[in-house]
Amino acid sequence: MPQQCIALVDDDRNILTTLSIFLQAEGFATRVYADGETALKALLENPPDLAIFDIKMPRMDGLELLQRLRDRSSLPVIFLTSKDEEPDEALGLALGADDYITKPFSQRLLVARIRAILRRTELVRAEPDEPVPEGLPEPIQRGRLTIDPARHSVTWDGKAVSLTVTEFLILESLAMRPGVVKSRNQLMDAAYSDDIFVDDRTIDSHIKRLRRKFRGVDSTFAAIDTLYGAGYSFTDG
């Protein structure tokens, strides 16, 4: 299996050096960037397997970097935050971050979170005609929607839709039981690990982005229904 690559974006050179050395010792390749502008260009041109952003950076902070990245990429992202940055944590998750870790943090915890997210993305990187490796789930077909968990791919009418890990898991949860209304809490449980706490607005933000992405390939897309006060459902049709 190819060595997985982690990109680190932080204006603190000490943190970049320390984390890079530690992650390399854990078997990862690393790339380091000291500012958001430089990182954005590099992450789009040569994406790693996962990126770790500090929030507070000059020129372009981690939130802006994530927002601009999400316009063009579903790259998994972990935020490093300080204890006094809780509103930023919530906003980061709403913008599409996959996880956050509060400083000071355990390097072992960080590695555990990285590996958990990489497992969630199921980075098989199989070719379309390759058989699904034994033990991985088969594709889910719901009308015009196809979800392939083994390849972390989604298509609508045969057209690819690029989703983040969190968006993918929310959509998968809805599509598993078409017509069944899933509450926001149920979708949170499907998309986040037990130690990440998000509010209703975060799930609503993900749903809005899901709809926007599907309407990018089909302007008539209306398969995700809202039942106000209850949650969301997927219409199989």
Three-state secondary-structure class, residue 156: strand
Please name the amino acid found at residue 208. Answer: K
Helix (H) or strand (E) holding 145: strand 145-148
40-54 pLDDT per residue, tens: 999 999 999 999 998
Task: Answer whether 65's CB lies under 8 Å from 10's CB.
Answer: no
Q: And the tokens for 28?
A: 């990862």
- Bridge partners (DSSP) of residue 232 are 182, 226
Torsion 29-33-36-42 (CA) sign: negative
- Bridge partners (DSSP) of residue 234 are 224
Helix (H) or strand (E) holding 224: strand 224-227
Q: And the tokens for 60?
A: 């372009």
For residue 137, is the peptide bond before it cis, meaning its omega torsion is within 30 degrees of 0?
Answer: no
What does pLDDT average to over the chain?
83
The residues near 198 (Cβ < 8 Å, ≥ 6 apart) are: 90, 93, 94, 188, 192
Tell me the pTM.
Answer: 0.63
133-165 pLDDT per residue, tens: 555 668 889 999 999 887 778 999 999 888 877
Q: Which domains does the chain have, with CATH numbers?
A: 5-121 (3.40.50.2300), 140-234 (1.10.10.10)
Q: And the tokens for 166?
A: 């969190």
Q: And the tokens for 63?
A: 């939130």
53-90 pLDDT per residue, tens: 988 888 898 889 998 998 788 899 998 877 565 666 66
Integer Cα distance of 197 and 70 in angstroms: 21
Q: Which residue has the higher pLDDT, 75 or 125?
A: 75
167-221 pLDDT per residue, tens: 888 999 999 999 999 998 888 888 776 655 555 677 888 898 899 889 999 999 9
